[in-house]
Amino acid sequence: MKNNHRSGPLEASALHLLHRAGQRAEELFTNETGKVDLTPRQYAVLACVSHNPDISQTGLVEQTGVDRSTLADIVRRLVKKGLLQRKRTRRDARMYAVRLTAKGQSALGAVKPVASRVDQRILAALKTDQRGDFIEALGEIVKSLHA
């Protein structure tokens, strides 16, 4: 049963609405992926590595927006699951180059259509002619607020 309470200023807060939309999107992803056992951020890391073989963890931070310590933990977990491999770079022995394993490629292949369905479900909340503008606006927000 829905209540009739109003959130007042939160109804017009971009910060709050983006947070709530993110919560719903993550919920959809989790429900759709079921037994795959990947979080949206883990999926983002796998997808990024897929397009950038041997990317450094610093490069992954820049590409995904995941903070350094969280990204290191995500990579560690994905290595432990056998989805990623990492090795020290020849250029700088302190840096790791990250790439997908065969198991990682398979997992990514299985989750890509699910992620696409989640995107479609999210965008279905908007009129068809609003969808491109919405994605573009989100991209502009991310780009302009990038530190």
Give the per-residue pLDDT at 9.
Answer: 79
Does this model's pTM top 0.95? no
Give the per-residue pLDDT at 94.
Answer: 74
Mean pLDDT estimate for the chain = 90
Q: Does some domain include residue 132?
A: yes
Give the per-residue pLDDT at 88.
Answer: 79
Helix runs in the chain, H state only: 14-33, 40-51, 57-64, 68-80, 102-123, 128-145
Q: Does some domain include residue 80?
A: yes
Q: Which domain holds residue 60?
A: 14-145
- Express as a percent the part of the chain with pLDDT over 90: 71
pLDDT in tens, 5-38: 666 778 889 999 999 999 999 999 999 887 778 9
Q: Does some domain include residue 2?
A: no
Q: Does some domain include residue 1?
A: no
Sequence-distant (≥ 6) Cβ neighbours of residue 10 within 8 angstroms: 16, 17
Q: What domain count does the chain have?
A: 1
Q: Does some domain include residue 76?
A: yes
Q: Does some domain include residue 4?
A: no
Q: Minimal CA–CA distance to 61: which of 49, 79, 78, 50?
A: 49
- Residue 60 to residue 88: CA distance in whole angstroms: 15
Looking up residue 28, the CATH number of its domain turns out to be 1.10.10.10
Give the per-residue pLDDT at 101.
Answer: 97
Q: Does some domain include residue 48?
A: yes
Higher pLDDT residue, 107 or 147?
Answer: 107
Q: Minimal CA–CA distance to 64: which of 80, 76, 46, 78?
A: 46
Q: Minimal CA–CA distance to 54: which of 79, 82, 80, 89?
A: 89
- Residue 47 to residue 105: CA distance in whole angstroms: 9
Whether 145 shows a pLDDT value over 90: the answer reads: no
Q: Does some domain include residue 38?
A: yes
